[in-house]
Structure formats: structure tokens, C-alpha cells
Chain A
Amino acid sequence: MLSLVYKNISDLIFNVDNRKQLSLMRIFLCGTLFYMACSRQLNMDQYGELSMIARGEALAIYPEFYRPAIQFFFWPDAWASQVHLVLIALLFLAMIGLSNRILMLITWVIAQGFINRNYSMLFGADLIGTLFLFYLAWTKCHDHYSVKTFFKKNVIQPAADIISAVFYRLMQLQLMVIYAYTGFEKLKGTTWWDGTALWTVFANPQFIGYDFIFLRTFPLFFAIGTFITLIFEIYFPAAMFLNKGRYAWLIMGVFFHLGIGILLSLMPFSMVMLSVYFLFINGKYIISFENFVIKQFNRFRLRQA
């Protein structure tokens, strides 16, 4: 009985070859983090010697419960800008697939170091993106869709490994946990419960880049939108366990995040979340899509010739 349970768990966690999904996630996640790091270069004044938070106070501003035991910002403040440029370069290399586990872990340490150095810049996309970078760093996410494989067609790919498989499952679980908790947290708010939260977001010029005030004449839009948001987030984990429901939810998620990205100008956050969606797609669909793209590309090339 016990060995049967162990076998089932072992099959679920270890026997998955998911390198294509991981590679697609790598491109999107590292690409987004690369973009975000480029934009953070403009915030370097708050990570250097003239920062509001002195180096010695960097960990002290954390609430005690959340304070990390390790200080990841190993560089002196005067070098913050240069180290950040190194981070940008490392993220770019990771995006195009010219990285490996050790380099990815170094990339994560630097990224986490910048979060530790100025905890007051609590930008959700930085936090989630860096967390997923940590998980992704342990996987073999460079085996496909990389510059290396593009130029060396006959590279013999090593077999999938169990470390990748474990972290692949952890990332899936992490996304489900994030959605569930963000839905539960919303239920604590009166505006989410009474269906008007979306209005507060749409009417706040610090959140939204377009004028949607005219929509106040269609209040049902906000009420329905609020409840759809709650249902989507709370039931996301359950939907991921259903073969049919999963894809409907993922498609809904794509529209949901693209909506947030475009309307709230939160595209980096949306892209970080969407990058994890690849881990829920069956490999056969990815291969079919890949074949379709190659076929179209070849057809286009022939036509050009």
C-alpha cells in the first residue's frame, strides 16, 4: 500500500519531461525581468549611497517577521549601478538561453539583493518575478528555444532530470497558491464583497492610464467585473486539476492579465504571471504549435525563394 502511494507520488512529481514548457517560461519571465531591470536602472538613486534608506538600515526596515537572515546585497553602494547593469546582462543571457543553473542562481542572488537593499519599493512584479526566477534557476530551462539550439541543430539533449521536475511542480503549485490567496484576501475587503472594487481601481488615476469615468453610467460593468475577478482567482487552483476546465481558465487568465496589463499599465506584472501559464500546457500542444510555426516559416521562405 505504502509503496503504491510512493509510486504514485513519485510518478506525479518526478516523471515529467517539461523542458519545452520551462524554456518558454524562461523566455517570457527573464524577458520581463530584463525589461523591469532596465526600468529600475532609472531608480538607482534609491539603491546607492544617496538612497533614503542607508545601507545599515536596509534590513532593519523589514517588519521583524519578514526580516531575512542573509543580506544578499554583497556589493558596496557605490557599485549599485554597475552591479545592476550586470544583472541586466545576466537576465538577457538567461532570456536567450545562454545561461545555466549556476549563472541563473547568481542572477537570482543579485535580483534578490536589490529587493533586500530597498524593501520599501514593494513592487509586486519584482517580488513575484524574482521568486519564480529562484524556482526556475534550479531547472533545465535552457534545453530548448535558445540561441544555442538555434545555431547547433544537432545538439543531443540530455535527459530530463528530477530536480527540474520537482521545481516545475512547485512553480505550478506556487501560482495556484498566489491566485487562491489573492482571491481570499479580496474577500476581506468590503468593496470586493459588494462588487464595487473595480470601480475604485478604474477611477484612480494612479492605477489607470485612461479615462473610464464615463463608465459610471453602466455600473453593472464594474459589479460583474468584480465578481468575475473573484471567481477567476479563487477557483483557479480547482480549475487547474480539471483537464477541460484548465484551458478555459487559462484562456480567461490570458484575457484577464492582458486587460490588467493594458488598462492598468501593469504589463510587467501580467507577463510574469502569464509566463507561468506555459507550465500548465500539455507538451503535445506546444509541439503542434511549434510544427505549425515551422511549417508556416518554411512556406514563407519557399515563397520568397
Chain B
Amino acid sequence: MVKLMTWMNQFKKIVLLCVFIYFSLMMIVLGNGSSFLGRYLGPYFTPVANIVGLNTTWNFFSPDPAHTMYLRYTVYFQDDYGNPVQEAIQEFYPSEEENANLSTHVRRQNYMMRFFTASYERMQKYFVPWVCRKYPGATHVHTEVILTRIPSLEVASTLSLLNYEDLLKQEEINQNAFSCL
């Protein structure tokens, strides 16, 4: 009996040692999943990593911190001939009042906004149908990303006597029009 217990204990240790080695290699290899090692060994690790949530790269504020970004959308309501039947509505996502709100739930909305604006397909497939559902009768949605480029440290420090707001460069990018119909 004692012998069996000892054997069982040893077996448990070996199994746990294998788990330890597997997880250790997984976190090291998949930390840089796009590397050769990641591509080569990925098939052995990704099925488990994708389940437990290890399928992520640890790139906080990297490679470079993002610039200020807002998503503005305009909802149009038109009849069959293209005449407006209702005044267009302009909104931000997250809403304008929450632009400076750093609460966790607003941050999550900001991450969503960045996720969708990164691709036209995502906007078309997920964001726009949601806006159309939100405004019954909407016929078109126009979206644009407002990017405020933060001046480089050299510019900001050299021109420190100038008003900071004058150094900011605002660009309206990724302007797209989508149909709700």
C-alpha cells in the first residue's frame, strides 16, 4: 500500500512537471507568436493557449503609444429619392460627454472603437448595423476617425511659449459612407 502511494505520488509529480514544462514553454514561445519559433512550435501550443487566454502579445503602449483618436458618425434619414426626412444626427463613439472619462467601462468602449476603426470590414459588419438598429429609419451612416496627432517632444519643448493647442494637428481619416438598407 505504501509502495503504491509512493508510486502514485511520483506519477503525480511527473505529470505536474510535464504541465509545468509545457506551460512554461507556451508562455515563452507565444509571447512572440509571430517569430519563427512561434510559427514553428505554435501548432503545439495555440489550441491550449487560445482556450486559457494565453493567446496574447504583451504589447502595452507599444510599439508606440497611440495618438488621440475619436470616432464620429453621422446618421442620415432619407426617402426613396434621397431627400432628407429627418435631420441628420451626429454622434461620437464613445459619446462626446465621455471623451475625457477614464472610467474602466468607458475605456472598454474606447478599446472597442479602436478595434473597429482598424478595419473597414469590421466597421461595415459590426459597427454600422448596430448604429442602424439604434436609429430606426436610418438610411445611411457616414463615419470618420478624428486623429489628433500629438507633437513630438522636441517641437513641444522648443515651442513651449506657443499655445499647446496650436501645435496639435487634427486629421479626419478613414471617411466612409455605409448604407443601412
Instruction: Please report the C-alpha to C-alpha distance between residue A112 and residue B126 in the assembled complex, in whole angstroms.
Output: 22
29 residue pairs of the A-B complex, CB under 8 angstroms, read A10-B13, A36-B104, A39-B104, A43-B105, A66-B50, A66-B56, A69-B47, A70-B51, A118-B112, A121-B111, A123-B107, A123-B108, A125-B104, A131-B53, A166-B17, A170-B20, A177-B58, A184-B32, A185-B58, A192-B64, A200-B64, A200-B67, A201-B61, A203-B150, A205-B68, A206-B69, A217-B157, A217-B160, A219-B153
Q: Which residues of B contact A57 (CB under 8 A)?
A: 125-126
Minimum CB–CB distance for A153 against chain B, Å: 32
A162 contacts which of B13, B42, B125 (Cβ < 8 Å)? B13
- Contact check, B153 vs A196: say whether CB atoms are below 8 A apart: yes
Instruction: Please report the C-alpha to C-alpha distance between residue A186 and residue B61 in the assembled complex, in whole angstroms.
Output: 7
Report the nearest B residue to A60, measured CB to CB: B125
A interface residues with partner B (beta carbon < 8 Å)? 9-10, 13-14, 36, 39-40, 42-43, 46, 50-53, 57, 61, 65-70, 112, 115, 118, 120-127, 130-131, 134, 162-163, 166, 169-170, 173-174, 177-178, 180-182, 184-186, 188-192, 196-197, 199-201, 203-209, 213, 216-217, 219, 222-223, 264-265, 268
B interface residues with partner A (beta carbon < 8 Å)? 12-13, 16-17, 19-20, 23-24, 27-28, 31-33, 42, 46-47, 50-69, 99-100, 102-105, 107-112, 115-116, 122, 125-127, 129-130, 133, 150-154, 156-157, 160, 164
- Contact check, B104 vs A40: say whether CB atoms are below 8 A apart: yes
Instruction: Please report the C-alpha to C-alpha distance between residue A36 and residue B108 in the assembled complex, in whole angstroms.
Output: 11
- Contact check, B57 vs A185: say whether CB atoms are below 8 A apart: yes
- Contact check, B160 vs A65: say whether CB atoms are below 8 A apart: no
Q: Which residues of B contact A134 (CB under 8 A)?
A: 52-53
Report the nearest A residue to B105, measured CB to CB: A42
Q: Which residues of B contact A163 (CB under 8 A)?
A: 16
B16 contacts which of A118, A162, A186, A192 (Cβ < 8 Å)? A162
Report the nearest A residue to B134, measured CB to CB: A50
Q: Which residues of A contact B55 (CB under 8 A)?
A: 65-66, 68
- Contact check, B112 vs A197: say whether CB atoms are below 8 A apart: no
B103 contacts which of A39, A162, A191 (Cβ < 8 Å)? A39
Minimum CB–CB distance for A5 against chain B, Å: 12
- Contact check, B112 vs A130: say whether CB atoms are below 8 A apart: no
- Contact check, B65 vs A127: say whether CB atoms are below 8 A apart: no
Report the nearest A residue to B100, measured CB to CB: A205
Closest 7 CB pairs of A and B: A189-B63, A265-B102, A189-B64, A39-B104, A120-B115, A185-B62, A42-B105
Instruction: Please report the C-alpha to C-alpha distance between residue A218 and residue B133 in the assembled complex, in whole angstroms.
Output: 49
- Contact check, A43 vs B108: say whether CB atoms are below 8 A apart: yes
Q: Which of B100, B107, B154 has the most CB of A within 10 A?
A: B107
Minimum CB–CB distance for A293 against chain B, Å: 30
Q: Which residues of A contact B133 (CB under 8 A)?
A: 50
